[in-house]
Structure 1
Amino acid sequence: MADSTSSMPVGTTGAGGGNMLRITGLNTGLDIDAMVKKMLTADQTKVDNAKQQQQLIQWRQEAYQSIISDVKDLQSAYFDITNSSNYLLSSNSYNNMTATSSDAAMVSGKATTTAISGNYQILVKQLAASAEIDSSSKIQYKDKTDPSKTIDATGSTKLSDLDSSLTTSDIKLNLTYNGSVETIKLQNTNGTATIQDLADAIKSQTNGSVTARFNELTGQFSIQTANTGDEYTLEINNDGSSASLLTDLNLKTPTTIQGQNAIVGIKEPGSNDFIKTEQKSNTFNINGMTYNLYQTTPNTDIDTSNTTNIKGDDPVSISVTQDTSKVHDLISNFLDKYNKLIDEIQGKLTEKKDYDYQPLTSTQESSMSDTTITNWNNKAKQGILRSDDNLQKMLDDLTNAFVSPIKDSNGNNVSTFYFGSIGSNSIGIDTSNEIKDAGKVTITDDAKFTQALQNNADEIMKLFTTTSDSSDDSTKFSQSGIFQRINQIITNNVGSIGSTYNTAILTNYANIQDDYSISGGSGTGTLPDQIYQKQLLINQLTDKMSTNQTKYYNQFTALETAMEKLNAQQSTLSMYLS
């Protein structure tokens, strides 16, 4: 007869037993869990191998992401245009000249790399001015409720309040500026157009060449050319439909107003005279100096004995001195950070793999302490990026950025100086000759580098920052300065500043998953694709092992059932025989 255990599965939760509660073979006396576990060894090994392979890929991804982060740190430190103090691509970063004015509220100056050191003196006879027509007096209008009273106009005052005749749907003003004639048309629906509306219309309809404003302090209206200088002229007159507009705004009737040039006298270092110059703007450049004029200097006049000169007793002095330390430190600090990055990449490319250390299985980890697991994993991660093609290509490109000659479109050197340490026109910066420091760049001759900055800063700037308009990558590389090349290489590999996930080489390979297919065969081979494909394999192998496990337990269950029946038959036969 059957006993109560005949319908129960065999095995126990744990070794090979899965999540089901199983009872080890009572009829056969076999350790079924242990037997099933051994029978699944091959399946478990396949799962463990797939997980180990996936772990290696994940470690590669983490190593890539660490390098990408460090590359972007270098990028943001030296190639971010918003970081003006360290921006390597700006001409201002290579300017070793400083200019200090004795009265910056009157005249200020800025020296470029081509300016001469010394003391500059400046006399200002006349400032540059735009052609401007102003109200002759404060704009006022009569109070409609009490005509004996007057009201001061504001920008929001309606033109129809100034004059009841200005109620037409369109107000027109003929404007002649710089030889061009423009009829300003102002929509005045129901007489609602204001003084400010007129100012806006003038600017808009002349595309900003002429501007207008209502001065809330003086109560006056003005129209002026946007640019200064005697080449700019301005004339206004009424259109017949709004004949009183100029009168109501207290503006002068048709007269051509001309702008004026700045008249300045400059005594440069080594000169005995204030040389007269006329400039269209109050900001202008001469001989490597940028001057900004704000006020005329007192007691200044044309030298009647020599009209090419200006005389005066109270010039503004601008002292120009040279300081190479800022440029020197900027490049030196960049090279320090750059070399740390190169050292990191070179270390990963040459790090040897210890094949005695593979990613741990969960079974192996279960018998280890946390410290032992960490130490083991650190060993297993070694060599994870050895001879990586992407990193090696970036490293080679960075090295070539320094050593490849920089040519213009005619094949000539863009600078009289060149990268290296040999020769009178080398800059004293060179790549390392040590194998262990391959790819690193250092200042090998500080005296030569400093001298080049002192005497030829403009040529050094060309060497580092020259740009190319070519659309061909090879030509653009050849024609670009060293730091322009490095900036492009970094962008090509990790993307532009501020971007995280992009199609740049390293970033795309480390972070972008293209494959979401069921079979795992439609991606581009990025690391996320590889991780995904391994996960599909792990799922497949795990499902197969689960199927095999169920099959084995079912077979042992059948065996237990057969043994149970046999035992029952033997028991019955024994009863009859006894």
Structure 2
Amino acid sequence: MVMRVGGLASGMDIEAMVDKLMKAERIPLNKLEQDRTKLEWKRDAFREINSKLTELDDLMFEMRKSVAYNAKNVSSTKEGAVTATANADVANGTYQIRVNQLASTAINVSTNTVKSDVQLVEGDEIAFNTINEKGEEVPHTYTIQKGDTLTDVLKKISRDDNNVRMFYDEQTEKVIMETTRTGNYRDGAEIQFDNNSFLANVLHMDMDKESGGTNAKFEYNNSGLIMESKTNSYKINGMTLEFKQETEGKNVSLTVTNDVDASYERIMEFVDKYNEVVEALNKSQLEERHRDYPPLTAEQKKDMSENEIELWEKRAKSGLLRGDTTISNGLFNLRSSWYEKVDTGGEYTTLTQVGIETSKDYLDGGKLIVNEKELKTALRENPADVQNLFTNSDEGNSRGLIQRLEDSLETTKEQISEKAGSILTPSLESYTLGKRMKDVDDRMESLEDRIAQAEARYWNQFTAMEKAISRMNQQSAQLMSQFGGGM
């Protein structure tokens, strides 16, 4: 530990002098800190680009699905009774549905009134059986606790996983107990209990009075075959039917057509995300680089306002990725993915045939421009060939546009990851910029040791000077004392 003497003998401000000397010593360290900050900024800028590429990649997964190009719309002549949705592979046309019966829940109601403040006996058990999917009885037992009210008990039963809910109706002063699922799971009552049970004696329920549950019953396309469903929903031939009301012996017509608007919106969602990525890549190459605006040190920030710091760092971060070959090559490869023909054997072999082209303005970086009328016409008249143009999975000249784009995208993402890693990257040494940051860290650590040694040396030198001056002052005082004494 260095003993510091602060200028008592010399009268000089030693601490201020050492501080100035140390500022000069720290100049190389400040430069390294700025280099470290710039590397972090560059890494983060690369990762932000990769994040956008990943978002596009995720959307491209959706673009490989048939529904993106061949979405279906199903209209009903009586939406209050029957509606439906259809998969992309459902053939266009009209389908007839006749609903003879809706699925309903099993329900039981008190035969006599029940007072809401009915006195419950601690320790009494409420027992009943329900029926599972296999038609087997499942027992349920609930014990009345001290202080429980009727409302407490009904809530406890309803919240349990037992396919049953119970509640008290104040208008009729009766308890209602029903299944939470529709459908008929057995002949006879689905909620079973003894005639001498809590449900019978206290809540005045009669198992023989239960009504429901019933299955939905419907006829498909006048086939004469009555189909059943335990719910008011049924999947058939790629369609999901939803029953809302019996049709009173009449058919409801469901008409399946291509949902051009839905397909168009899906494609436009992809186009917008692609253009957003292109803009980010292109902007990184066009940003002006301000070499006179290095990252601020902590000392510099002390004398600046938040607004000044923000404006400075905006310029300092500008153009960090400018001229980077990974970005520029990635942008070129993305654009190139759209240009070549796709040998699908179908009507459409190029992007322009379906109303999509790349921007002619070179400053746009190759953004996609969509002619809404032409794209919708293609989706309406030949959605299958539009899909093949984008998603054909063959290799070579037959490879679809989305597949080609994904190949380019993956290459760029991998190259960026090699340079900048990701938030999941375990160590600095596993990516290029991280290695450079680690090297700067090691150099900073070594330089900090040398700076500490320099500071100690300065203090030792000034301390030695102070001691020498102090001794000289003492000797001078002694001499003066002797001369004074002899006169």
TM-score > 0.5, shorter chain as reference = yes
What letter is aligned with 1:481? G
Match of 1:95 in 2: 70
Superposition deviation, residue 41 in structure 1: 4.3
Mapped partners of 1:525, 1:95: distance in 2: 43
Matched residue SS, 1:572: helix
Contact 1:96 1:457 in 2 (8 A): no
- The letter for the 2-side match of 1:53 is D
Q: Indicate if the aligned counterparts of 2:419 and 2:433 stay in contact, CA closer than 8 A.
A: no
Whether contact under 8 Å (1:491, 1:504) holds in the other structure is no
Aligned to 2:482: 576
Q: List per-residue Cα deviations over 1:387-420 (Å, max 9, x = no partner).
A: 22333333233222222333xxxxx445431334
Which residue, 391, 400, 419 being the options, matches 2:350?
419
| 2:34 alignment counterpart | 52
Within a 5 Å distance, the mapping from 1:39-188 to structure 2 comes to 39-76=21-58, 78-79=59-60, 87-100=62-75, 110=86, 115=91, 119=94
1:529 match: 435
Matched, 1:334 2:270: yes
TM-score (norm 2): 0.61
User: Could you say which residue in structure 2 is the equivalent of 1:461?
Assistant: 387
Q: Secondary structure at the match of 1:544?
A: helix
C-alpha separation between the residues in 2 aligned to 1:328 and 1:368? 51
2:15 to 23, 30, 33: 33
**What is the root-mean-square deviation in Å for CA atoms of aligned residues?**
4.2
| CA pair 36-561 structure 1, distance change in 2 beyond 3 A | same
CA contact (8 A) 2:14 2:462 kept: yes
Please state whether the residue corresponding to 1:40 is helix, strand or coil: helix
SS at structure 2 position matched to 1:98: strand
Q: 1:132-174: CA deviations, max 9, x gaps?
A: xxxxxxxxxxxxxxxxxxxxxx869xxxxxxxxxxxxxxxxxx
Pairing 1:558–2:436 present: no
Matching of residue 509 in structure 1 with residue 445 in structure 2: no
Judging changes above 3 Å, is the alpha-carbon distance between structure 1 residues 394 and 506 closer, same or farther for their aligned structure 2 residues? farther
User: Structure 1 pair 100/375, CA: closer, same or farther in 2 (3 Å)?
Assistant: closer
Q: CA deviation at 1:121?
A: 7.2
1:484 is the counterpart of 2:396: no
**CA distance in structure 2 between the aligned counterparts of 1:314 and 1:46, rounded to whole angstroms:** 89
Cα deviation, residue 480, structure 1: 3.5
Alpha-carbon distance in structure 2 between the residues aligned to 1:515 and 1:337: 31
Change beyond 3 A, Cα 1:28–1:44: same
Contact 1:351 1:386 in 2 (8 A): yes
Shift of residue 108, structure 1, vs aligned partner: 8.1
What is the CA-CA distance between 1:465 and the residue it aligns to?
A: 1.6
Q: What's the CA shift string for 1:351-393, capped at 9, x where partnerless?
A: 1111121111223222222221121111111111212233333
Q: Secondary structure at the match of 2:73?
A: strand
Residue number in structure 2 paired with 1:498: none
Contact 1:515/1:532 (CA < 8 Å) preserved in 2? no
Comparing 28-37 with 337-346, greater Cα deviation is found at 28-37
Change (3 A) 1:453 1:109: same
Residues 97, 291 of structure 1: alpha-carbon distance in 2 compared, 3 angstrom cutoff: closer
Paired residue secondary structure (1:467)? coil
Which residue number in structure 1 is paired with residue 361 of structure 2? Answer: 434
Q: Aligned equivalents of 1:572 and 1:69: distance in 2?
A: 79
Give the superposition deviation at 1:545: 0.6
5 Å-filtered alignment, 1:126-525, equals 217=187, 318-406=254-342, 412-413=343-344, 415-421=346-352, 426-443=353-370, 445-468=371-394, 475=395, 479-487=398-406, 489-490=408-409, 505=417, 509-511=421-423, 523-525=429-431
Name the SS for the 2:63 alignment partner. coil
Q: Retained in 1: the 8 A contact 2:85–2:240?
A: yes
Structure with the higher fraction of residues in helix conformation: 2
Q: Which runs of 5+ in 2 are unaligned?
A: 99-134, 138-184, 189-219, 224-233, 242-248
Query: 1:549: Cα distance to partner?
Result: 0.8
Q: 1:513 and 1:27, CA in 2 relative to 1: closer, same or farther beyond 3 A?
A: farther
2:69–2:387 Cα contact (<8 Å) kept: yes
Offset of residue 486 of structure 1: 3.7
Alpha-carbon separation, structure 2, partners of 1:413 and 1:447: 23
Q: Which amino acid aligns with 1:43?
A: E
CA distance in 2, matches of 1:42, 1:292: 77
Task: Tell me if the contact between 2:46 and 2:420 (Cα under 8 Å) persists in the aligned partners.
Answer: no
Q: Residues of 1 paired with 2:85 and 2:454: CA distance?
A: 85
> Offset of 1:440 from its aligned partner?
0.7
Identical aligned residues as a percent? 25
Partners of 1:419 and 1:428 within 8 A in 2: no
Cα displacement string for residues 436-490 of structure 1 (whole angstroms, at most 9, x for unaligned residues): 10121111x333322221222111000112224xxxxxx5x76542223444555
Q: Give deviations 1:3-57, integer Å, cap 9, x for gaps.
A: xxxxx944xxxxxxxxxxx512x33344433443444344211010001111111
Matched letter for residue 257 of structure 2: T
8 Å contact kept, 2:73–2:85? no
Give 1:332 shift. 1.9
SS at match of 1:319: strand
SS at match of 2:369: strand
Name the counterpart of 1:166.
Answer: none
Q: How many residues align?
A: 356
Q: 1:45 to 1:414 in 2, by over 3 A?
A: farther
- Larger-gyration structure (1/2): 1
TM-score (norm 1): 0.52
Which structure would you say has the larger RCO, counting Cα contacts within 8 Å and 6 or more residues apart? Answer: 2
CA contact (8 A) 2:293 2:316 kept: yes
1:327 Cα deviation from its structure 2 partner: 1.2
- Structure 2 CA distance for partners of 1:567 and 1:457, relative to 1, 3 Å: same
